[in-house]
Structure 1
Amino acid sequence: MKTLGILLSTAGLAGAGTIALALPAQAVEEASCPGAKPISSAQIFRDNKPPGWGDVKLMRDSCSQYWAEVVMDAKLPSYAMTSAYLVQTGGSNNGRMLSCDSSGGTGAVVAGQRTCRTPKVKSRDTSTTFTAVAREFRNFGSGWDKISENRTARTR
């Protein structure tokens, strides 16, 4: 019985070690590229009128990675959805737009949530600029209608 206990506890430790070593690529990336900070931001207004309901931010880290992030002031109700979009201008990907729902993003903000971010785009091309855009939608049963949009200044 003692041998069985030692065997099970050793197996448990081995499993824990495996879990600890299996870090998501995003966590490794964030650890190696610290210093994420907003370089431009704007408030989100419903129907383009104050008060603000959240913020859209253009973010950059120390590895020259850019992304858009939206942070709502309160959790969204069941009839609402919000997403951030990263718009790239200039360079080889001129006109590219990525959303929170794009591969590598965190998914749009839906009921009970407050934040999302787009995939990160690495760019050291000085001719490339970025803008973060936020769009808010509502659906009372007849489909999604856009009720607000705002954007940050275009910047590098």
Structure 2
Amino acid sequence: MKILGILLSTAGLAGVGVLALATPAQAVEAANCPGARTISSAQIFRDNKPPGWGDVKLVRDNCSQYWAEVTMDAKLPKYALTSAYLQQYGGSNSGRVLSCDSGGGTGAVTAGQRTCRTPKVKSLDTSTTFVAIAREFHNYGGGYQKISENRTARTR
């Protein structure tokens, strides 16, 4: 019986090793690029009036990857939609704007959710700057209409 227990625990440890090897590429990338930090943030106001309902952040990691994140204070109701946008200034992609719905993003914040992020953009060009923008939309039956927008400072 003792030998059976040892075999089962060894098999269990081997299974953990297999699980560790099967991590998604994004998790591996995150492990290789630690140090994600907010470099600029701004509060989100509904109808452009206080009180604030969330935050938009411009984030950078140690691999010079930039992205925008939006986090609402509470889960969105069924008629609301929020997204973060990353706008790039300078460099070969000047003027590019990516949203949470762009490939590599997590998808816009919809009913019952609180947060999303844009795809990550790598930039080693010191003349390139970025802005994170948050927009909130409401739909009461006539289609989504923007009710608020705020942005971070333009920075690198």
Normalised TM-score (structure 1):
0.89
Give the deviation of 1:138 after TM superposition.
Answer: 0.7
SS at match of 1:141: coil
| Identical-pair percentage | 82
Distance in 2 between the 1:31 and 1:46 partners?
36
Q: Report Cα offsets for 1:46-87 as digits up to 9, x if no partner.
A: 111100000000000111110000010001011101000000
Give the deviation of 1:10 after TM superposition.
Answer: 9.6
Report the counterpart of residue 72 of structure 1 in structure 2. Answer: 72
Distance in 1 between the 2:138 and 2:115 partners?
16
Report the counterpart of residue 33 of structure 1 in structure 2. Answer: 33
* Structure 1 residues not aligned, in runs of 5+: 1-8
How many residues of Structure 1 are paired with residues of Structure 2 in the alignment?
Answer: 153
Question: Alpha carbon RMSD of aligned pairs, Å?
Answer: 2.0
Normalised TM-score (structure 2):
0.89
Q: Report Cα offsets for 1:111-155 as digits up to 9, x if no partner.
A: 111100000001010110000000000111111010000000000
Q: After the TM superposition, which segments of 4 or more aligned residues of structure 1 sit over 3 Å from their partners?
A: 9-20
Report the counterpart of residue 137 of structure 1 in structure 2. Answer: 137
Q: Report Cα offsets for 1:11-59 as digits up to 9, x if no partner.
A: 9887765443221111111111111110000000111110000000000
Distance in 1 between the 2:18 and 2:35 partners?
29
Report the counterpart of residue 22 of structure 1 in structure 2. Answer: 22
* Structure 2 residues not aligned, in runs of 5+: 1-8
Question: Is 1:86 matched up with 2:96?
Answer: no
